[in-house]
Amino acid sequence: MSEPILRTALSGMLAAVRRTEAAATNTANAGNLSRLAPKEGDAPAFRRCLSSQSAQTGGGVKAEFRAVDPATLAAAGGDSPLADENGLVGRPNVDLAGQRVDALSAQRAFEASLKVVQAADEMQDAMLDIKS
């Protein structure tokens, strides 16, 4: 009885962890500037990632990372050595406020799934007490 419930809750917890990883990676790399027109030898521009979730047959969810297009947006580069002739650089397509909201939402989803696991554990303990 509790196996499908636990499988669903645990997959929800793992999906929340993936969402947190995506938000943390995006936040950590939000300041990585790049050239708008990369030159040979340049590191690739950072690509923001999303954790998309899909329902699984038999219950639960699966979370996968996917890259967001466009990778960068043109922004004023000031005196950056990466700036083009117009003073523009590529700034990662990351909205820091949105990343914070995603991280908080993932935290709440994790907590909700954890409560399901705790409730299933309590129900199993109660059922074993009745049978004893």
CA–CA gap between residue 59 and residue 45 (Å, rounded):
37
Low-confidence ranges of the chain (pLDDT < 70): 1, 131-132
Domain segments of the chain as ranges: 2-131
- Can you read off the two tokens belonging to residue 64? 């996968």
Query: How far is the C-alpha of 19 from the C-alpha of 62, rounded, in Å?
Result: 11
- What's the pLDDT at 132? 60
pTM: 0.86
User: What's residue 129's pLDDT?
Assistant: 78
